Amino acid sequence: MGSSAFFIARGFRIPVPEWLAPLATFFIVGYFFFKSRWQTRKAKESSRLAEG
């Protein structure tokens, strides 16, 4: 749920806790950060195997 979804929900008077938007952002960014690290390690391992 992106930050714009929080603004839309608030516009329709749907109660959204103040802490929910930063928490969702933290988890989304963290997920893609660790996914990127995993892909980088995977690419390094496959390039090492191809060299040797």
How many residues are recorded in the chain? 52
What does the pLDDT read at residue 9?
Answer: 92
**Which sequence spans correspond to the domains of the chain?**
3-51
What does the pLDDT read at residue 52?
Answer: 60
Contact call for residues 26 and 8 (beta carbons, < 8 A): no
pLDDT, tens digit (0-9, with 9 covering 90-100), for 1-52: 567 888 899 899 999 999 998 998 999 999 999 999 999 999 888 887 777 6
Q: What percent of the chain has pLDDT over 90?
A: 52
**Distances, alpha carbon 28 to alpha carbons 6, 17, 46, 49, 51, in Å:** 15, 18, 27, 32, 35
Task: Give the type of residue at 22.
Answer: P
Calpha distance 37→43 (Å, rounded): 10
